[in-house]
Amino acid sequence: MKYLVTGGTGYVGQHVVRALVEKGNDVVVASRNASTPQAGISFLELDVLDPDQTTYETLGRPDVLIHLAWEDGFNHASKKHLENLPKHIEFLRNMLSGGLKHVVGVGTMHEVGYHVGPVFETTPTFPQHAYGIAKNHLRLVQSLLCREYHAIDHWILLLLHLWRR
């Protein structure tokens, strides 16, 4: 399988890329910044927020997209979350219209909102800030686009545990 990982140079992305390579997969990382070549990984300098209808071809026609790229993730009130949302949607649309058949989107517990108790797949979302609202919207649009293009749709929700010592 050929995987494209956006945001593959970020904290979570590095772990995802390493795990995919260790399992013998062909991995392409799309990043705004050139990266040091590593065994088993192809790096392509590309800004996914600058959508292009040929992106799927440019990125080597991957089998699976793992879309981790996100700007200002730790600043939940940043205007970039809502400003960049249409660009993320256009990137997904271009990939799917090009022929992509499997999308894995990634969000966090912030899409659920300020929820008390365990979070399940059926827990309703009620985001309370720009980051959560944008990610939740992208999740919904991703699902819609995958149905339209007959692609497999997965959304992974990262639940972060913070504790103090």
State the total domains in the chain.
Answer: 1
Among 33, 3, 49, 32, CA closest to 18: 3
Calculate what percentage of the chain has a pLDDT beyond 70. 93
Residue 163 lies inside a defined structural domain of this protein: no
Mean residue pLDDT across the chain: 91
Contact (Cβ atoms closer than 8 angstroms) between residue 82 and residue 130 = yes
Distances (CA, A) of 48 to 5, 22, 79, 117, 125: 11, 26, 18, 35, 26
CATH number of the domain that 90 lies in?
Answer: 3.40.50.720
Residue 97 lies inside a defined structural domain of this protein: yes
Residue 164 lies inside a defined structural domain of this protein: no
Residue 127 has pLDDT above 90, yes or no: yes
pTM of the predicted structure, to 2 decimals: 0.92
Mean pLDDT of 17-35: 90
Residue 56 is a catalytic residue: no
Residue 41 lies inside a defined structural domain of this protein: yes
Residue 136 lies inside a defined structural domain of this protein: yes
> Of 3, 11, 56, 131, which is the active-site residue?
131
Instruction: List the domain range (segments joined by +) for residue 17.
Output: 2-158
Residue 165 lies inside a defined structural domain of this protein: no
pLDDT tens sequence across 28-87:
999 888 676 678 889 888 899 997 899 999 999 999 999 999 999 889 999 999 999 999
Residue 87 lies inside a defined structural domain of this protein: yes
What pLDDT was estimated at residue 164?
A: 47
Residue 60 lies inside a defined structural domain of this protein: yes
